[in-house]
Amino acid sequence: MSLPPRRPPPYVLDRVTLEREVEVDTFRASGAGGQHLHKTESAVRLTHGPSGVVVIASDTRSQAQNRELAFERLIARLKKLNFVPKKRKKTRPTLGAKKRRLEGKRRAGAAKRLRGRVRDE
């Protein structure tokens, strides 16, 4: 099955559509888990063509459970990719806030001038 070219978000999250868009690979899991785990092709790799996201699940000995886990992980990743942050509104400081800030700066400047050298007059 050849994958279609990648497209930008939003991506569909319903299971039926995902099963059509995804390429499923099974392979032998590696790591701890005993002889039964290494004899069967229970690990599942899902490749989502439209986004290019690849998810692997090899947690259990059951291929069916690993497949469910992989789809859950894929949906979670696609939800993250679908998230669009709210556009930030530019705000300006109020006139009162501007005056308070400038007054504070004047006071700080006056205090700094008082810390200067003592002059003989």
Residue with tokens 């032998």: 28
Is 100 inside a domain boundary? no
Is 45 inside a domain boundary? yes
Can you tell me the mean pLDDT for 105-118? 90
Residue 65 belongs to domain with CATH number: 3.30.160.20
Is 72 inside a domain boundary? yes
Is 21 inside a domain boundary? yes
Please give the share of the chain, as a percent, with pLDDT higher than 70. 93
C-alpha distances (whole Å) from 24 to each of 7, 85, 100, 120 are 19, 31, 63, 88
Which domain range does residue 46 map to? 15-82
Single-letter code of the amino acid located at 41: E
Q: What is the pLDDT of residue 73?
A: 97
Is 46 inside a domain boundary? yes
Is 62 inside a domain boundary? yes
Is 106 inside a domain boundary? no
Structure confidence at residue 118 as a pLDDT band (50, 70, 90): confident
Global pTM? Answer: 0.68
C-alpha distances (whole Å) from 69 to each of 3, 26, 101 are 22, 13, 55
Do 42 and 58 touch, CB atoms closer than 8 A?
A: yes
Split into its structural domains, the chain has a count of: 1
C-alpha distances (whole Å) from 113 to each of 9, 21, 25, 120 are 58, 71, 74, 16
Is 55 inside a domain boundary? yes
**3-state SS assignment for residue 84:** coil
